[in-house]
Amino acid sequence: MKPIKRVALVAHDNRKKDLAEWTRWNAEKLCRHELICTGTTGKLIDRVLNEEIAEGAVRRPAKPITLLKSGPLGGDQQLGAMIAEGKVDVLIFFWDPMQPQPHDVDVKALLRIAVVYNTALACNRSSADFIISSPLIEETYSPNGRDFTDYLEREI
């Protein structure tokens, strides 16, 4: 991973306010990285960052937010594909464990693929704080654990 990370930000409806507050608090660091968001979360994050930019609190990111489809419309699957292709370094996913989701299988698949590909993953504010405050967020980093040779060569 390069020093500029590709950070995916996702939140379920009941957690969007939480992610917006976290984004505002970490806007300066987040604007140094490439951001990827699912639909409505991306619009919210863009609005929060533009407010911080207008107030002079942060500089405009070098690259605009990559907006995917809304989660229930396939955004979770798009993001999972990006992770599998090595196009996401960090996943910040404020999911709501108390609310049933109509696309729950997609949510589980996204979390699974992030673990399979050893992607840095935060599912709540405290784990997101640990990731964003780690010195590794702005350094070159080489994660381990992406060799699937044994799995692919197994006998069926």
**Which residue ranges make up each domain of the chain?**
6-152
Q: Tens of pLDDT along 38-87? A: 999 999 999 999 999 999 988 888 789 999 999 889 999 999 999 999 99
> In terms of DSSP bridges, do strands 6-11 and 90-94 run parallel, antiparallel, or are they unpaired?
parallel
Q: Which of 13, 18, 46, 76 is catalytic?
A: 76
Its CATH architecture, for the domain 6-152, is: 3-Layer(aba) Sandwich (3.40)
pLDDT at 146: 67
Q: Tens of pLDDT along 81-110? A: 999 999 999 999 998 887 776 667 888 899
AA identity, residue 122: A
Q: Is 106 a catalytic residue?
A: no
